[in-house]
Chains A and B, each alone.
Chain A
Amino acid sequence: MITDAKPIVTARIGVPESWTLRAYLEHGGYDGLRKALTMDRADVTQEVLTANLLGRGGAGFEAGKKWGMLRKAEPVYLVINGDESEPCTFKDHMLLEEDPHEIVEGTLICAYAVGASQAFIFVRGEFALGLERLTAAVNEAYAFGAIGRNILGSDFSVDLVVHPGAGAYICGEETALLESLEGKRGYPRDKPPWFPAVKGLYGAPTVVNNVETMSNLPWIVQNGGAAFAALGIGRSTGTRIFSVSGHVKRPANYEIEMAKTTFRDLLYDPKLGGGIRNDNELKAFVPGGVSAPWFGPDQLDMALDQDAVGKAGSMLGSGSVVAMDDTTCMVRAAWRITRFFHRESCGQCTPCREGGGWLDKVLRRIELGQGRESDLDLLLDVCDNIAPGLSWPPQKTTICVLGPSIPSSIVSGIKMFRDEFLVHIKDGRCPFG
Chain B
Amino acid sequence: MARLTAENLQRARQLVALYPHPRSALIPILHIVQEQDGWLTPDGMAHVGELLDIEPAEVYGTASFYDMFFTHPVGRHLVSVCTNLACLLNGGGELLEHAEARLGVAAGGTTADGEFTLEEVECIAFCGAAPCLAVNWRFFGNVSNDDFDQLVDDLAAGRLADEVPPHGTLCRVRRRVGLTAGVPAGPPPADDAKPAQGSAQ
- From A84, A131, A337, give the contact of B125 (CB < 8 A): A84
Given A139-B176, A164-B31, A183-B24, A337-B134 contact (CB < 8 Å): no
Q: How far is the CA of A246 from the CA of B131 in the complex (A)?
A: 10
Chain A min CB distance to B127 (Å) = 4
Tally inter-chain residue pairs, CB-CB below 8 A. Answer: 204
Q: Indicate whether A290 reaches chain B with its CB closer than 8 angstroms.
A: yes
Interface string of B130-149 (1 = CB under 8 A from A): 10001011110000000000
- B interface residue count range (under 10 / 10 to 19 / 20 to 34 / 35 or more): 35 or more
Cross-chain contact B183 with A336 (CB below 8 angstroms): no
Given A89-B125, A126-B137, A166-B67 contact (CB < 8 Å): yes
Interface string of B70-106 (1 = CB under 8 A from A): 0000000000000111101110000000000000000
Q: How far is the CA of A75 from the CA of B26 in the complex (A)?
A: 22
Q: How far is the CA of A253 from the CA of B183 in the complex (A)?
A: 38
Q: Indicate whether B61 reaches chain A with its CB closer than 8 angstroms.
A: yes
Chain B residue at minimal CB-CB distance from A161: B18
Q: For window 122-171 of chain A, which residues contact chain B by CB distance below 8 Å?
A: 124-129, 131-133, 135-136, 138-139, 142-143, 147-149, 157-159, 161-169
Q: How many residues of A contact B (CB 8 A)?
A: 75
List, in ascending order, chain B residues with CB within 8 A of A343's CB: 122
Cross-chain contact A159 with B62 (CB below 8 angstroms): no
Chain B min CB distance to A432 (Å) = 12
Cross-chain contact B181 with A180 (CB below 8 angstroms): no
Q: Indicate whether B170 reaches chain A with its CB closer than 8 angstroms.
A: yes
Q: How far is the CA of A84 from the CA of B126 in the complex (A)?
A: 11
List, in ascending order, chain A residues with CB within 8 A of B155's CB: none
Cross-chain contact A328 with B89 (CB below 8 angstroms): yes
Q: Indicate whether B195 reaches chain A with its CB closer than 8 angstroms.
A: no
| B-to-A contact residues, CB < 8 Å | 18-21, 23-28, 30-31, 52, 61-63, 65-69, 83-86, 88-90, 122-130, 134, 136-139, 170-177, 179-184, 186-191
A–B pairs, 30, beta carbons within 8 Å:
A84-B125, A86-B123, A87-B122, A118-B20, A126-B137, A128-B137, A129-B139, A132-B172, A133-B173, A139-B177, A142-B180, A149-B182, A157-B181, A163-B24, A166-B31, A166-B68, A166-B69, A183-B24, A183-B26, A184-B62, A185-B65, A202-B186, A203-B190, A245-B128, A247-B89, A322-B89, A324-B89, A333-B85, A336-B85, A340-B122
